[in-house]
C-alpha cells in the first residue's frame, strides 16, 4: 500500500506522483486479476536501529549527498526532487525514497535486492554502494572535476569503515 504525497504536473504535460510506501509485503496468493490485482499478503517488518545509531546517521547523510549530486546531473530529475531530497528528515523514508528512485540499467535488480533486506542499516549500506558505483559511472561520462569527485568520495569513507 502507498500514500500519495505530491502530484506534480510537468511541463511536457505528463504527471509525476510521489508516493510513500507504507509497508513492505509478500504476495502469498492471487485472488483475482480483474479489475486489478487482488491477493493475500503478509507484511514484512523492517529492523530499525535506534535513532542514535551514529553509523546509520553518517550513511544516511552520505546517501543524501550522493543522491543530490547524481540528481543535479540528471536531466530526467526535476529540481523539486532535489529540494525535497535535501529536506527529508526521516532516515527510513530517505533511504527508501532514494532506493525507489533509482533509474539506471540494472535499477530493477538493485531495487529488488534492496527490498529483500529487512535491516534498514544494511539496506542503507547497500544503497550507498549502489550510489557510489552510479557516481563513478557518472564521473567517467561527464566533465566533473577531480575536486568534486574527492569531496564526494569523502562521503563514502564511512562505507569502507563498516
pLDDT, one tens digit per residue, over 94-144 is: 898 888 888 778 888 999 999 899 999 999 999 999 998 887 777 776 655
Count of other CB atoms within 10 angstroms of residue 62: 22
Mean pLDDT (the chain, rounded): 81
SS3 29: strand
Q: In terms of pLDDT, which residue wins out, 144 or 90?
A: 90
CA neighbor of 111 nearest in space, from 15, 17, 12, 21: 21
CA neighbor of 119 nearest in space, from 86, 90, 95, 85: 95
- Among 52-56, 66-70, 93-97, the range with the most confident prediction by mean pLDDT is 52-56
Count of other CB atoms within 10 angstroms of residue 95: 26
CA distances from 34 to 26, 41, 83, 103 (A): 20, 17, 39, 30
Amino acid at each position: 500500500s502507498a500514500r500519495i504525497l505530491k502530484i506534480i504536473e510537468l511541463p511536457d504535460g505528463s504527471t509525476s506522483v510521489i508516493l510513500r510506501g507504507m509497508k513492505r509485503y509478500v504476495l502469498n496468493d492471487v485472488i483475482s486479476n480483474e479489475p486489478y490485482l487482488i491477493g493475500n499478503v503478509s507484511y514484512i517488518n523492517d529492523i530499525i536501529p535506534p535513532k542514535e545509531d551514529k553509523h546509520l546517521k553518517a550513511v544516511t547523510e552520505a546517501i543524501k549527498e550522493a543522491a543530490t549530486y547524481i540528481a543535479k546531473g540528471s536531466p530526467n530529475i526535476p529540481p523539486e526532487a532535489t529540494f525535497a531530497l535535501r529536506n527529508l528528515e526521516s532516515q527510513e523514508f530517505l533511504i527508501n525514497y532514494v532506493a525507489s528512485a533509482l533509474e539506471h540499467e540494472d535499477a530493477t535488480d538493485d531495487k529488488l535486492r534492496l527490498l529483500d533486506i529487512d535491516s534498514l542499516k544494511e539496506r542503507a549500506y547497500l544503497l550507498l554502494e549502489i550510489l557510489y558505483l552510479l557516481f563513478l559511472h557518472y564521473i567517467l561520462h561527464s566533465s566533473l572535476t577531480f575536486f568534486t569527485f574527492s569531496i564526494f568520495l569523502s562521503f563514502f569513507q564511512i562505507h569502507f569503515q563498516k
